[in-house]
Amino acid sequence: MPVTFHVNGEPVRHDGLADRRLLAILREDLALTGAKPGCEIGRCGACMVWLDGEPVNACLVMAWQLDGRRVTTIESVAADPGSAPVRDTLAACGAVQCGYCNAGLVMAMTWLHAHPTLPDRAEAAASLCGNVCRCTGYGGVSRAIETLFP
């Protein structure tokens, strides 16, 4: 059954299999490769996008769940000046190594940073525990958390 949804404000109609996953649709059908395949079982956060404004792992979202929904990807968020404090802080704090986790981190941290009640440092760190850095560069990530969530 076809589904229609929006990706970064653009309408999308998808006629593919209902068990196709959002991550594959973004990367293979829409050429939006910012969300990365890591674990593909919802554990690493490399594929994080926003679904109706909430962070989700795209590898766990099935095509049939997308009808009428709004998907926002790193391509849109990175182009938004509102994400600049997060992006700049991650870079300044040395939290960018191989870069594979950074799109997911920016998605998660930008959402947290824009939250109406800014979480404190411990809350932010706990919330980001689903964003894994395969370089184990957590020193830089921790410094970025301390800067953004004092």
Name the site residues for ligand FES (rule: CB under 6 A): 37-40, 42-47, 57, 59
Burial of 31 (0-12, 13-18, 19+ CB in 10 A): exposed
What's the min distance (Å) between Cβ of 111 and ligand FES? 15
What's the min distance (Å) between Cβ of 133 and ligand FES? 12
Cβ nearer to ligand FES, comparing 57 with 72: 57
Cβ nearer to ligand FES, comparing 93 with 108: 108
Q: Give the closest residue to 96 by CA, choosing from 124, 59, 134.
A: 134
What's the min distance (Å) between Cβ of 52 and ligand FES? 18
Cβ nearer to ligand FES, comparing 59 with 95: 59
Q: How crowded is residue 22: how many other Cβ atoms within 10 Å of its Cβ? A: 27
What's the min distance (Å) between Cβ of 88 and ligand FES? 25
Mapped onto helix, strand or coil, the DSSP state of residue 138 is helix
Q: What share of the chain is helix, strand, coil (3-state, %, to 5)?
A: 45, 15, 40
Cβ nearer to ligand FES, comparing 43 with 82: 43
Q: Are 32 and 12 in contact (CB under 8 A)?
A: no
